[in-house]
Chains A and B, each alone.
Chain A
Amino acid sequence: MERRPLRVAVIEDQPLYRQMLVGLLGSAPGFSVTRSANSSAQALALDPADFDVALVDLDLGDGDGFDVGLAYRSRNPRLGVVILSAVDAVHRMLALDPQDAAGWGYLSKTSALSAGSLVAALSASTEGRTMIDPALARRREARQGSPLDSLTTRQEEVLSLLAAGLTNAAIGEELGIAARSVDNHVIAVYSALGLTSTERRNPRVQAALLFVEHSR
């Protein structure tokens, strides 16, 4: 049975960039742009029940992308929200309520113009994963003296990919190691960051946010 295409809302104030995004998604199988807006005011007038994921520019001119995303999520908690930004402002993810950060993604505008990254971000977000642009995550370095500083190089790689929204299986594939060893690395990372999988908060989401907090 063919799956219903994911309904995407594109919220972007720059006409040229919006056209490029709509064009890219138009040719990506499994996605359909059902709503679009060119300002925060227009975006807030949309009903978030009408789409599965929102692709929202951070800097909307008349408002802020996170504010639009939060307004959508309060009306549709299952909605995926991917923030797009021309500048690296990934730390803004830290202002999200950790209980409610699942399903939020952050993508640089450069990465968003590659169909692969865009599709991966939208999928991760609709599947409830917290996702940081892989290109940005790769470039980040652990801050001196932070909890990330104690991780081994391999654990740091695993955490970076986890923060980029990859599943353990995908991380194994990416690093060319067995899924079982990825599991072990993830458990070690949780322990180094003081996270337990039994706590109410999703430790995967927490780990992604801690990765952002303690890296540059």
Chain B
Amino acid sequence: MLGSTAAVGILFAGATTVQSVLALGIFSQVLRGTAPEPTLEIVTRGIVNLATAAVLVGLVAILAPERRRPALRMTLTLVIAASAAVFRALAQLVAGVYAPSAGLALVTEIGTTAIAAVATLLIGFALVAAWGRLQTVERQRASSELEARLAYAELQDEELRVRREVAHGIHGSVQNVFVVLEAELNDTARRLAPDDAERIRRAAETVRGLREGELRSLSSVLYPVDLDRGLDPALTALVVRLPAHVAVELDFHEAARALDADRLPFDTRLLLVRVVEEALTNAVGHGDAHRIRFALEGGAGSPTIRVTLDDDGIGLGPHPVRSGLHRLGRQVELLGGVLDLVPSPVLSGARLHAIVPRDDTPAAARV
């Protein structure tokens, strides 16, 4: 309020000074009979007008009309405007702008000054109200954005919790039921005639395949194996599953253990594991790779974590299968990182390259 009053008041003060002297040519000589001196006139009137604006601002600061109820606010506005107008008239009288005998001119001056002061204050009120509305809208926008972000994070946490629970259920009790079923089938087979026994053994073998294959991959799709134990165990669980015909060169244990020791945030850990998992699946599943080189960098002191995975597969091809990587790439970007799939400079296939900041605060959430 003070700022707007001062701004508008000074604007008025300056404008009336210049207008009265230069545009209208009102000189004190008319009243005092002295020689015209426009510069002195402007300075004198300018000082008086600025002092009036200062009085206006001072009274606003003391009485704070903008914080009162409408009726009181109007009364205070009139009081402040009248006070400023009287002050201006007296000041002009003292400064010799008017002759002491110029009674009518003084009354007119008081009237016009009061109107200008009321206008100044009304503009001030309007500006304050507009600013207030703007702030409320901005606050509401920020608050609903925060709410949406929190709700999203909560949903993600809930989804992860359910995934973890279901995966553990499959890993634990469902697997055990299948183990017992397999044992029962094999035991039954031992008591049967060879032909029937063979059928039962095949059924037991199917149960084993289902348990070791489908159930296991279902569980790891839901929630990466050993993720809760850390980055190093989770990455190890991924690479040991690579088929034996794939030669591997691994350089990740040291960095992964350092990151685990530094308590890498869970979201970053999950994302890194998903990126490596997707890259391995692409390399071996779609790229028919027989050689994989996987390196992880970013131990203590490094602000970023770098994943480099080269393979000797078919390379990017005309239509690289990267829908999964595309989705993961967006998640990496949300954390402020980058993910690229390029031709490998060291092996003949593709290179997946990802850089993820160690701070997992989403870029969108940083203020």
Q: Which of B173, B233, B240, B241 has the most CB of A within 10 A?
A: B240
**Contact call B290/A144, Cβ cutoff below 8 A:** yes
**Cβ-neighbour of B183 out of A95, A113, A142, A144 (below 8 A):** A113
**Contact call B247/A216, Cβ cutoff below 8 A:** no
Produce 1/0 per residue, B176-218, CB < 8 A to A. Answer: 1011101100000000000000000000000010011000100
Q: A59-B171, A91-B240 are in contact. Are A109 and B176 (CB under 8 A)?
A: yes
**A16→B176 CA distance, assembly (Å):** 9
Q: A94-B236, A109-B176 are in contact. Are A146 and B183 (CB under 8 A)?
A: no
The reply on B348 being an interface residue by CB < 8 A is no
**A216→B284 CA distance, assembly (Å):** 15
**Contact call B175/A144, Cβ cutoff below 8 A:** no
The reply on A47 being an interface residue by CB < 8 A is no
Q: Which residues of A contact B291 (CB under 8 A)?
A: 145
B175's nearest neighbour on chain A, judged by CB, is A86
**Contact call A143/B182, Cβ cutoff below 8 A:** no
Q: Which residues of A contact B236 (CB under 8 A)?
A: 91, 94-95
**Contact call A20/B180, Cβ cutoff below 8 A:** yes
**Cβ-neighbour of A142 out of B171, B175, B244, B246 (below 8 A):** B244
Q: Which residues of A contact B327 (CB under 8 A)?
A: none
**A95→B240 CA distance, assembly (Å):** 13
**Contact call A14/B173, Cβ cutoff below 8 A:** yes
Q: Which of A86, A92, A113 has the most CB of B within 10 A?
A: A86
Say how far A25's CB is from chain B's closest CB, in angstroms.
15
Q: Which residues of A contact B244 (CB under 8 A)?
A: 140-144, 215-216
**Cβ-neighbour of B237 out of A59, A91, A109, A113 (below 8 A):** A91
The reply on A5 being an interface residue by CB < 8 A is no
Produce 1/0 per residue, B18-51, CB < 8 A to A. Answer: 0000000000000000000000000000000000
**Contact call B179/A17, Cβ cutoff below 8 A:** yes
**A149→B240 CA distance, assembly (Å):** 16
Q: A110-B208, A144-B290 are in contact. Are A64 and B176 (CB under 8 A)?
A: no
The reply on B319 being an interface residue by CB < 8 A is no
Task: Please tell me the size bucket of the interface on B.
Answer: 20 to 34
Say how far A19's CB is from chain B's closest CB, in angstroms.
10
* Those of A81-112 within 8 Å (CB) of chain B: 86-89, 91-92, 94-95, 109-110
Q: A14-B173, A86-B176 are in contact. Are A110 and B183 (CB under 8 A)?
A: yes
The reply on B243 being an interface residue by CB < 8 A is yes
Say how far B174's CB is from chain A's closest CB, in angstroms.
9
A16's nearest neighbour on chain B, judged by CB, is B180
Q: Which residues of A contact B241 (CB under 8 A)?
A: 216
The reply on A61 being an interface residue by CB < 8 A is yes
**Contact call B247/A110, Cβ cutoff below 8 A:** no
Number of A residues near B (Cβ < 8 Å) is: 28
Say how far B130's CB is from chain A's closest CB, in angstroms.
60
**A20→B212 CA distance, assembly (Å):** 21
**A133→B175 CA distance, assembly (Å):** 18
**A94→B253 CA distance, assembly (Å):** 12
Q: Which residues of B contact A16 (CB under 8 A)?
A: 176, 180
The reply on A52 being an interface residue by CB < 8 A is no
**A210→B175 CA distance, assembly (Å):** 28
Interface SS of B by simple majority: helix
**A20→B182 CA distance, assembly (Å):** 13
Produce 1/0 per residue, B216-255, CB < 8 A to A. Answer: 1000000001000100010011001111111110000000
**A147→B229 CA distance, assembly (Å):** 29
**Cβ-neighbour of A87 out of B171, B173, B242, B248 (below 8 A):** B171
**Contact call B179/A113, Cβ cutoff below 8 A:** yes
A212's nearest neighbour on chain B, judged by CB, is B240
Say how far B135's CB is from chain A's closest CB, in angstroms.
51
**A88→B216 CA distance, assembly (Å):** 10
A66's nearest neighbour on chain B, judged by CB, is B229
**Contact call A144/B245, Cβ cutoff below 8 A:** yes
**Contact call A17/B176, Cβ cutoff below 8 A:** yes
Q: Which of B172, B216, B225, B290 has the most CB of A within 10 A?
A: B172
Q: Which residues of B contact A17 (CB under 8 A)?
A: 176, 179-180
**A86→B171 CA distance, assembly (Å):** 8
Q: Which residues of B contact A113 (CB under 8 A)?
A: 179-180, 183
* Those of A1-51 within 8 Å (CB) of chain B: 13-14, 16-17, 20
**A101→B247 CA distance, assembly (Å):** 26
B184's nearest neighbour on chain A, judged by CB, is A113
Q: A86-B211, A145-B291 are in contact. Are A110 and B175 (CB under 8 A)?
A: no
Q: A14-B173, A64-B229 are in contact. Are A143 and B248 (CB under 8 A)?
A: yes
**A141→B246 CA distance, assembly (Å):** 11
Q: Top 9 A-B pairs ranked by shortest CB distance?
A: A145-B247, A86-B175, A141-B244, A216-B244, A144-B247, A113-B183, A91-B240, A109-B179, A14-B176
B residues near A (Cβ < 8 Å) are 168, 171-173, 175-176, 178-180, 182-183, 208, 211-212, 216, 225, 229, 233, 236-237, 240-248, 290-291
Known contacts A17-B180, A216-B241, then 10 further A-B pairs from the complex at CB < 8 Å, ordered by chain A residue: A14-B172, A17-B179, A20-B180, A20-B183, A61-B168, A86-B176, A109-B176, A110-B208, A143-B248, A216-B244
Could you give 25 example pairs across A and B, Cβ below 8 Å? A14-B172, A14-B173, A14-B176, A16-B180, A17-B176, A17-B179, A59-B168, A61-B172, A86-B172, A87-B171, A89-B237, A95-B233, A109-B176, A110-B179, A110-B208, A113-B183, A144-B244, A144-B245, A144-B246, A144-B247, A144-B290, A145-B248, A145-B291, A216-B240, A216-B242
